[in-house]
């Protein structure tokens, strides 16, 4: 069987059951082609690992790398995280420049993953870094199957044969829970999110695993689930409080944005931070340092992740033989500020309800 580099448009056309002209139009993003037909062509491209031929004048190896900033639903990749993503870009840009690449950034907001795939077909680029925050395993496989050297950042899949650079969520969450544990907290809550992203799931899994590792008991009533946007987290927390939420001593919030909304709702309801409830976030966004009190949070070097993505990509581009998938997890630091301090001895164990005798 031909390898991806030796395949022709006719091979793709035969696999997709369409004409060679149709394949050419799809690969070049032209023509009035139906979504169903485009999908057939792209599936054939992915399944056959087709590597598009490019004009030598426009796609010399090592010339251009493309960063795909993908926001499928925008619940996590949005304006609130613009600084976070810009740090990724800074790390990629610096290393790309050092290695004589040009880095271009292409954004996709609210578009199907097929649109992302179409944009890559025939593109005069040498490699791809894709923001995987909101991508599913199927999305990863589709982009990976297009044949370009590709690295995914801000996500991680154990069993997918692709290259990933992500933060070490399990290690980071262990540092959060260890800090609470060292301060004497035993009733530790977790503010999760029902928005589906891989990192959110990894942090949730890490919470349960590390609570067990530390010999701490998890009370399901202390596991909250809120929207991942600031307004959504605030609104959902207000509703939980209105419904009579019995607060834990402290909470680990899935990310800083959720922590901001959670804290605002708590303050409006009455509890003080950290006198009544201690809180730790994740991401170390700039606002976390300027809050009163400052938010204790997890710092992961986004620039390091961007740098590593380009380093791996450069190796793939210049390799003369097939390379095994590379999966890298970058460690984290706990940035200590005032929101997590245990200022007074507190006991928030639930007291039994006492029924008053009828008069």
Residue recorded with tokens 């030796």 = 6
Q: Torsions phi, psi of 217, nearest 5?
A: -90, 135
Q: Does residue 165 sit in helix, strand or coil?
A: strand
Q: What is the pLDDT of residues 228-271, one digit of tens each?
A: 999 999 999 999 999 999 999 999 999 999 999 999 999 999 99
What's the pLDDT score for residue 28?
A: 63
The mean per-residue pLDDT over the stretch 322-339 comes to 95
Q: Does residue 14 sit in helix, strand or coil?
A: helix
What's the pLDDT score for residue 237?
A: 98
Identify the helix (H) or strand (E) that includes residue 299. Answer: strand 297-300
What's the pLDDT score for residue 118?
A: 87
What is the Cα–Cα distance from 25 to 173, expressed in whole angstroms?
48
Task: Centre a 10 Å sphere on the Cβ of residue 220 and count the other Cβ atoms it contains.
Answer: 5
- pTM value? 0.78
What is the Cα–Cα distance from 332 to 187, expressed in whole angstroms?
24
What's the pLDDT score for residue 353?
A: 36
pLDDT at residue 204 is higher than 90: yes
- Scanning the chain, the segments in alpha helix (DSSP H) are 9-16, 20-27, 35-47, 82-98, 113-120, 137-144, 169-182, 198-213, 230-242, 256-269, 287-290, 302-318
The mean per-residue pLDDT over the stretch 145-170 comes to 94
pLDDT at residue 171 is higher than 60: yes
Residues 6 or more apart whose Cβ sits within 8 Å of residue 168: 329, 330, 331, 332
What is the Cα–Cα distance from 157 to 327, expressed in whole angstroms?
9
Label residue 11 by pLDDT band (50, 70, 90).
confident
What's the pLDDT score for residue 55?
A: 40
What is the Cα–Cα distance from 169 to 175, expressed in whole angstroms?
10
Sign, CA torsion 97/98/100/105? negative
Report which of residues 59 and 238 the model is more confident about: 238
- Exposure letters 9-41 (e unless 16+ CB within 10 A, then b): bebbbebbebeeebbbbbbeeeeebeeebbbbb
> What's the whole-number average pLDDT of the chain?
86
Q: What is the pLDDT of residues 93-124, one digit of tens each?
A: 999 999 999 999 999 988 888 889 888 888 89
């Amino acid at each position: 069987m031909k390898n991806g580099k030796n395949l022709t448009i006719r091979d793709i056309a035969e696999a997709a059951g369409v004409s060679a002209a149709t394949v050419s139009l799809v690969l070049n993003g032209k023509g009035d082609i139906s979504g169903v037909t485009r999908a057939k062509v792209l599936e054939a491209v992915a399944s056959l690992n087709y590597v598009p031929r490019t004009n030598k004048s426009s796609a010399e190896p090592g010339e251009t790398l493309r960063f795909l900033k993908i926001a499928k639903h925008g619940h996590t990749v949005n304006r609130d995280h613009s600084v976070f993503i810009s740090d990724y870009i800074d790390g990629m840009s610096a290393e790309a420049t050092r290695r004589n690449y040009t880095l271009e950034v292409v954004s996709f907001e609210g578009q199907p993953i097929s649109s992302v795939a179409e944009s890559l077909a025939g593109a005069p680029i040498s490699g791809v870094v894709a923001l995987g925050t909101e991508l599913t395993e199927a999305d990863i496989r589709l982009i990976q199957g297009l044949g370009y050297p590709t690295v995914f950042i801000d996500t991680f899949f154990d069993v997918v044969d692709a290259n990933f650079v992500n933060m070490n969520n399990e290690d980071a969450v262990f540092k959060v829970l260890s800090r609470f544990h060292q301060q004497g907290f035993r009733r530790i809550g977790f503010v999760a999110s029902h928005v589906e992203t891989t990192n959110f799931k990894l942090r949730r899994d890490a919470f349960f695993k590390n609570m067990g590792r530390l010999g701490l008991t998890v009370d399901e009533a202390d596991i909250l689930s809120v929207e991942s946007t600031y307004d959504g987290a605030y609104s959902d927390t207000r509703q939980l409080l209105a419904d009579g939420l019995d607060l834990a001593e402290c909470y680990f919030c899935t990310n800083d944005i959720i922590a901001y909304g959670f804290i605002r709702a708590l303050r409006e309801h009455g509890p003080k931070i950290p006198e009544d409830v201690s809180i730790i976030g994740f991401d170390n966004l700039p606002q976390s340092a300027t809050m009163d009190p400052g938010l204790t949070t997890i710092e992961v070097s986004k620039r390091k992740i961007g740098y590593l993505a380009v380093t791996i990509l450069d190796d793939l581009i210049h390799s003369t033989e097939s390379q095994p998938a590379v999966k890298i997890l970058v460690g984290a630091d706990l940035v200590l500020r005032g929101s997590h301090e245990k200022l007074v001895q507190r006991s928030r164990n639930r007291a039994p309800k006492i029924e008053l005798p009828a008069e």
